[in-house]
Amino acid sequence: MKKFSDLGIKPKFNYFTGDKIKITKVLNQDIIIHQFKLKDSKFENSNSEKCLNIQIEMKGEKYVLFTGSKILAETIQQVPKDSFPFETTITKEGESFQFN
């Protein structure tokens, strides 16, 4: 009888791993971005209609970061898929966040 592991079936969606972390905890820190998802925001009173979910690594630990930042969402979508993972920092310029 075959084992499931012998069938070579892998999930179609990679779930993010790690604890949720606030963007303020990663500001000006070296992080590695592994992947992202852009989903509809579940908050009706949000300034953004979308929620950016990012799988990051900081100091060897994996975390999940959620943000409604339009600038981060627009910027990360411009990164070619073959450029992941990449290293960056997130900084705050005025009221906006950006990758550096």
Domain boundaries, the chain: 18-99
Residues in CB range of 34: below 8 A, 6 or more apart? 55, 56, 57, 62, 84, 85
Give residue-wise pLDDT tens across range 15-47: 899 999 999 999 999 999 999 999 988 776 656
pTM metric for this prediction: 0.81
Fold classification of 18-99 is 3.30.720
Closest to 100 measured CA to CA, from 59, 63, 72: 72
Give residue-wise pLDDT tens across range 33-90: 999 999 988 776 656 688 999 999 999 999 999 999 999 999 999 999 999 999 999 9
Confidence of residue 13 (pLDDT cuts 50, 70, 90): low
Cβ neighbours around 11 below 10 Å, total: 6
Amino acid at 75: T
Q: Do residues 13 and 76 make contact, with C-beta atoms less than 8 angstroms apart?
A: no
